[in-house]
Structure 1
Amino acid sequence: MRPLPARLLLAGLLPVAAGLAACQSQTAQIAAPAEAVAALPAVPQLPPGPERDAAWMKLAPKAPLDPALARTTVDFATREPVGTIVVETAERRLYLVQPGGKAMRYPVSVGRAGLAWTGRAEIDRKLEWPDWNPAPEMIGRHPDLPPRLEGGPFSPIGARALYLAQDRKDTLYRIHGTNEPETIGQAVSSGCIRMLNEDVMDLYGRVPVGTKVVVR
């Protein structure tokens, strides 16, 4: 049986720890009404590739975006080498350093008060439409939550995820997409950096495993 889409399991606020729960949604609802599940569009099961991306992106939640926040190339003075990802949490922007004093700038959501993470890391692995794994303590509080939710257009971590490590040890923080695009530009996550699905797909294609990441 296919697990319930994550967006239906994630409603009513519950606080989570900043450590093991770093990349979990702020919310965990025990059950979803059957009529709500039935109302969701069917998700076509397709092999990885452009056809799946196009089909699933049509189903993924959308929200209006202020044109001032849109992805763009900007001047960016930094001592970080070309190819580095720099996240300015106060600005709620992510910069991919480019040659010639430029950067590709993306709007992001960052950790809410008390849960924001800063530091240096590197991309340890990359996944397309990744599964969502609730933290063990969350499952302990709510045994009805499945241990894994399949990736897809309704997943809370969206179309792509970049997993951050320090000295090859998982930080439990990610740069990932979202099924809540209306939160972009806010401090709402449990520490991870959320991006629009379109933007995280663009970034994913530009950076390899091993890319340095600075969050400040």
Structure 2
Amino acid sequence: MLGAGCGRSEDGPARPGTAEASEPAFVPVPTPAAPRAPSRSTAAARSPARWMTARLTRGVTLRSRPGGRVLARLSRRTEFGSPRVLGVVSRRGGWLRVVSSELDNDSRGWMRAAHADLGATAWSVHIDRSARRLVLRRAGRRVKALPVAVGRPGTPTPLGRYATTDELLTRRPGSPYGCCIIALSGHQTKLVEGWPGGDRLAIHATPQTDSIGRAASLGCLRAHAADVRRLMRRLPLGAPVFVTA
């Protein structure tokens, strides 16, 4: 299920629900809900000091515009069992414009605000692809910078704004994801032919620590296990992740 860059190209990732093992490959980590949003305004959803999130309270329909055509239908939980929390880009009346893994990287969907508990987080992640560096920010201020492996030539990490969707622990020894994974809403659009895994992007640990700081993956961001754990302690689900050139 997890993505195109989340392992070595010769290793297909373990997938939840396969017959390979009786227990799931990934276990979601309980994450605290983001504090309630302080404002109903559209500006609050875009503030660099406060990023709005929407934790679904029921299944929802994403639409092309308020009341428009259906783009996707979402359940209250992700495919990995986490509460479904979406990053909110803007708000218009009783509608939210959100980031979702069910949509293309550059697409956004509209959902009714009444079908979610709104929260707000000061935390955000900013990845500089050319510098191979991830910066964790709180209220716009730099808190921590750490090296990451990014997509190699031919399978570069896609640029854009994403959101965290799941924080997972791995269950299988020798996993190409290392100890843990922060799944993102984005997708790798340049899949390697014959790749047996999915297309979802993630920030994850790796047994190939010598690849960190290089353009070495199939699209995901590899980091040291201690750094991924640090991010997981701080980032709520729905927190924004920006990848720039």
Question: Which bracket does the TM-score occupy, shorter chain normalised?
Answer: 0.5 to 0.7
Percent identity between matched residues is 30
Secondary structure at the aligned position of 1:204 is classed as helix
Q: Deviations over 1:89-130 (max 9, x none)?
A: 11111011124732311111000012112111101111012x
Quote how far apart the aligned CAs of 1:151 are: 2.6
Which sections of structure 1, spanning at least 5 residues, go unmatched?
Answer: 1-18, 30-46, 50-78, 130-149
Q: Which residue of 1 aligns with 2:92?
A: none
Amino acid at match of 2:166: R
Q: Return structure 1 stretches of 4+ with deviation > 3 angstroms.
A: 19-22, 79-82
Q: 2:10 aligns with which of 20, 27, 38?
A: 27
Residue 122 (1) aligns with residue 105 (2): no
Amino acid at match of 2:175: S
Bigger shift: 202-211 or 93-102? Answer: 93-102
- Structure holding more helix per residue: 1
Alpha-carbon distance in 1 for matches of 2:146, 2:167? 18
Q: 1:187 aligns with which of 211, 215, 229?
A: 215
Alpha-carbon distance in 2 for matches of 1:86, 1:102? 10
1:1-20 → structure 2 map (5 Å cutoff): none
Residue 197 (1) aligns with residue 228 (2): no
Q: 2:205 aligns with which of 152, 174, 177?
A: 177
Residue 151 (1) aligns with residue 134 (2): no
- Structure holding more strand per residue: 2
Alpha-carbon distance in 1 for matches of 2:183, 2:175? 16
1:46-65 → structure 2 map (5 Å cutoff): none
Secondary structure at the aligned position of 2:182 is classed as strand
Which sections of structure 2, spanning at least 5 residues, go unmatched?
Answer: 13-26, 30-46, 50-121, 187-197
Alpha-carbon distance in 1 for matches of 2:11, 2:233? 31
Alpha-carbon distance in 2 for matches of 1:86, 1:100? 10
Quote how far apart the aligned CAs of 1:171 are: 5.8
Q: Indicate the RMSD between aligned Cα atoms, in angstroms.
A: 2.9
Seen in structure 2, the aligned counterparts of structure 1 residues 24 and 184 have a Cα distance that, compared at 3 Å, is closer
Seen in structure 2, the aligned counterparts of structure 1 residues 48 and 215 have a Cα distance that, compared at 3 Å, is closer
Q: Deviations over 1:159-188 (max 9, x none)?
A: 11111115xxx9611110001111110000
**2:169 touches 2:181 (CA, 8 Å); kept in 1?**
yes
**2:124 touches 2:137 (CA, 8 Å); kept in 1?**
yes
**1:120 touches 1:212 (CA, 8 Å); kept in 2?**
yes
Amino acid at match of 2:183: Y
1:105-144 → structure 2 map (5 Å cutoff): 105-116=145-156, 117-129=158-170
Secondary structure at the aligned position of 1:205 is classed as helix
Alpha-carbon distance in 2 for matches of 1:95, 1:175? 13
TM-score with structure 2 setting the length: 0.47
Quote how far apart the aligned CAs of 1:21 are: 3.3
**1:80 touches 1:97 (CA, 8 Å); kept in 2?**
no
